[in-house]
């Protein structure tokens, strides 16, 4: 893929649908974890140059929790799940079955719960993508970082810039109305993985022969 402008409306719609499927699966898994209804939306699907990612994402100085992992297999990529710092205590209350507002400190047990959340959310997201695209996707164990969005993105993009020119950002909002929980999932394929994804979408849509 030489230029993101080459992606026509069909593929943009397909990427949007891909995000909807993955986000819906992740929301279902999170709803089952916390015993409450979790909703999602996919407001932004963009293919942009790697170096422009911090400009497109809301990379302010607010502290966030970033759950990060690598994906191997047919679609090498990075996945980043972020939650606003202000939502973390409420989120861990939900995860641990406690009333919202019970926590006053993000201790080791709650950090462990966030890592488990990352494993379940990303696993559900990837399972949906793997099924839809008929690709093998193998995730690593997630790592957790608590820092500014800009700092987390810069660390991730230094790695990516070595072998990728463009990033596919599937930005997903995850929210639970009573606690105003919000988060984002970013899928950033490496190297030629965007081309792999486009071909998989073509096969799924019957545009090219699956053989």
Which residues span the domain enclosing 28? 4-205
Per-residue burial over 157-172, b if 16 or more Cβ lie within 10 Å, else e, is: beebeeebbbbbbbbb
Is 211 among the domain residues? Answer: no
How confident is the model over 94-142, as pLDDT tens digits? Answer: 788 777 777 777 888 888 888 888 888 888 888 888 888 889 999 998 8
**Could you tell me the CATH number of the domain that includes residue 24?**
3.40.1550.10
Is 28 among the domain residues? Answer: yes
How confident is the model over 151-171, as pLDDT tens digits? Answer: 888 887 777 666 667 777 777
pLDDT of 148:
87
Query: What percentage of the chain reaches a pLDDT higher than 70?
Result: 86
Is 131 among the domain residues? Answer: yes
Q: State the average pLDDT over residues 141-148.
A: 87
Tokens found for residue 45? 């699907």
pLDDT of 73:
92
Indicate whether this model's pTM tops 0.75. Answer: yes
How confident is the model over 177-208, as pLDDT tens digits? Answer: 777 677 778 888 876 787 788 788 778 776 65
pLDDT of 164:
67
Alpha-carbon distance of 127 to 62, in angstroms, equals 31
Pick the closest to residue 34 from 77, 91, 76, 79 (CA basis).
91
Tokens found for residue 191? 């190297």
Is 88 among the domain residues? Answer: yes
How confident is the model over 56-107, as pLDDT tens digits? Answer: 776 667 788 888 888 999 988 888 888 877 777 877 887 887 777 777 778 8
pLDDT at 3 over 60: no
Is 179 among the domain residues? Answer: yes
Is 14 among the domain residues? Answer: yes
What is the chain's alpha carbon radius of gyration, rounded to the nearest angstrom?
17
State the average pLDDT for the chain: 78
Is 191 among the domain residues? Answer: yes
Is 210 among the domain residues? Answer: no
CB 183 within 8 A of CB 82: yes
- The number of folded domains in the chain is 1
Tokens found for residue 122? 């990303």
């Amino acid at each position: 893929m030489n230029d993101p402008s080459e992606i026509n409306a069909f593929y943009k719609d397909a990427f949007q649908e891909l995000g909807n499927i993955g986000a819906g699966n992740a929301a279902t898994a999170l709803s089952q974890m916390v015993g409450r209804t979790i909703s999602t939306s996919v407001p932004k699907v963009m293919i942009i140059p790697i170096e422009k990612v911090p400009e497109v994402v809301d990379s302010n100085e607010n502290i966030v929790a970033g759950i990060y992992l690598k994906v191997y297999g047919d679609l090498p990529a990075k996945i980043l799940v972020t939650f606003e710092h202000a939502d973390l205590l409420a989120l861990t209350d939900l995860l641990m079955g406690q009333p919202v507002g019970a926590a006053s400190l993000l201790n080791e047990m709650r950090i462990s719960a966030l890592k488990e959340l990352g494993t379940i959310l990303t696993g559900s997201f990837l399972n949906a993508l793997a099924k839809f695209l008929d690709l093998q996707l193998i995730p690593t164990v997630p790592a957790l970082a608590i820092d500014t969005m800009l700092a987390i993105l810069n660390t991730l993009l230094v790695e990516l810039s070595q072998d990728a020119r463009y990033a596919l950002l599937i930005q997903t909002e995850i929210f639970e109305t009573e606690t105003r929980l919000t988060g984002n999932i970013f899928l950033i394929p490496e190297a030629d993985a965007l081309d792999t994804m486009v071909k998989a979408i073509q096969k799924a849509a019957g545009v090219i022969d699956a053989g």
